[in-house]
Structures are given as structure tokens and as C-alpha cells.
Amino acid sequence: MKSVVLPDYNKNVLRAMLSLKITDLEIPELKDDEVLIKTSASVCNPSDIAFIQGVYNIVKPVPAIPGFEGAGEIVKEGKNVSGLIGKKVSAFVQSNSSGTWSEYFVAKTTDIIVLDNNMPDEQSACFTVNPFTAYGMFEKARQLQTPAIIQNASGSQVAAFLRKMAEEEGMLMIDIVRKEETAKTLRDEGAKHVLVESDENFDDQLKQISYQLKPHMAFDAVGGPLSGKIYNALAPHSEMMVYGGLSNKPMSELNVMGAIFHNKIVSGFNLIDWKSGLKANEFESISHSLQKKFIDGIYKTKIDKTVDIDNIIKGLKSYLGNMSAGKLLVKP
């Protein structure tokens, strides 16, 4: 099988990308609880970039095949698996021996989602992480019955799903982005309350709109001093849920009095922990509900470019140049 191989980690992202090799490898043998998937498409996420730099929380022995998320058809089963050959699946793979940037990849049965045949292949490749992350986090907003939500990194795919979910529930969204270019794109797409972090009046704008809309929920994917600004702008009896650290800086400038006298809390969200806390069959029910929205065209992951494995380096350079433009899809 043709695969992308990372020979070693390098914190310099350009050097890490340039080190990637296209290699012919033997198709791996399966363990009893695994399946072999013929890849239809895989995707590049920010976590994959962090992985090739060696700064992600998953570190594999190198050389390694990158790629955590992908989709395809099951073509072989382990000894303890039956009835899955021919099934169309989406998967999130973290094992040391496999990665999705390959013509075939191996997954445990617990790491796959069996898909409706009507799920588009390109959307299937991006299905296991972002839609469920947004769904799991948004459940808290529903519980709080907040009239409005603040979120940063609003050009991301998770943010796009959260914005759509808020719209469906009649909640207002305050979107924060780094660039005016991204703000214009969101406004053109219908976003009503978009703030640019680099604007000299940003702090006052955030305070003013938060005073008007009274958000009780915030989703923070950035960290750093922006965390404090968002936390401080929330109404009393609120929660800020942290699910990323794009700034690579610790959260700062949180007003202690908000926690003491206004019952404002900070929590974290991890998709794997959220899934493990669901009741039996609950994840499958959520998956069916989300798939229907993709099939009906209500939800859609924005895909900027599609490249074949041989052009992975060129594709990664383009993706890093403008991650807000959409996902990079990799096809075998």
C-alpha cells in the first residue's frame, strides 16, 4: 500500500512537512478486534500538524504514518469481528501501527462509525471529530438555556457547527476571529455579531455586546489573554468551556471576583471522555441524527482542497497558509 511516512518529529513545521516520504509498505496484519479499511479519503486537522511536529498528546514510534481521521470501506476483519466487510465507515485512529494518510489503514471496532450509504465520501472523512465535538459541547449551552454564546476561533469547522446549532435553537452567537478577512467571510455567510480580536476597540466591543446579549456560555479554543477577556465578559452564572489552546499560551487575565461573586466557572471538553460518559446506544443515536443532517445538506464541513497522496506536501503548505478556508482532503 502507498502511504505517507513521517521519518522523525520536528517542531519546525516546514521541516516536518518537507521530511514526509511517500513509501510502499506491506498491508499490516490484523489483531482480533481490528478491521482493515480501504481508504476513500482522509483529512488533515490541526491535530495532524501538531502530531508531525511531535507536540501533540499522541506520540507514536517513528517512522510513523500520520493521519488520525478518515473514511473508507471495510475489506477485512479480525478473528473476533464479523458482519462488517463491505460496510462504509468513518474512523478516528490513534494506534502506533496505523494512520489514515494511506491507501489502507487499520482501526479497532471501537474506533469506527458505520455510515449510511448516502453519506458523501468527502463529508465521511471529516465526520468523527468536529461534528461530535460541537454536539457534545453544545449540550451544555442547551442545559443552561443561554440566550447567547461567545466563541473564538470562529473561522474553524467546530465553530461553524456550533453557529448552526445555535441558530437551530434560537440562540445568538458572538463570534471572535483574528483577521478582518475571516470576519468578512463569516458576515457574508450570515453571522450577525462578529468581532476582530486585533481591532483597537475589541475590548469595548466585546463588553458592550455581551452586556446587551447576556451570554451565559462560551467556547474557548485559543487560551492566552483572550480566555480572560471572554470569561470576564460573560453574564453571572456562566460557564466557559475550553477545548483547544491554539495560542500555545496559558489562560490569563481571568477576573477572580467573577468566580467568587458571580458563579462563573471554567471547564474543559475532551471528546473521548464525553463519548465514554454516554449511555448505551446513545452515541449511535447521535450519529444517526448527525448523519441525516449531512445527507440532507443541513450540515457540511467546508473542504478547501483535495490532493492525492503524492501531492501531500503541496497540500499541507496550502492548508497552513489559510486554515480558515476549509479542510485539506487527502485521497489515495
pTM of the entire predicted model: 0.91
**Which has the closest alpha carbon to 316: 8, 9, 14, 1?**
14
Helix, strand or coil for residue 56? coil
- What pLDDT does 280 receive? 83
pLDDT digits over 234-279, tens only? 999 999 999 998 898 999 999 999 999 999 999 999 998 999 999 9
Per the DSSP assignment, residues forming a β-bridge with 22 are: 4
pLDDT digits over 164-215, tens only? 999 999 999 999 999 999 999 999 999 999 999 999 999 999 999 999 999 9
Strands 104-108 and 34-44: antiparallel
- What pLDDT does 30 receive? 95
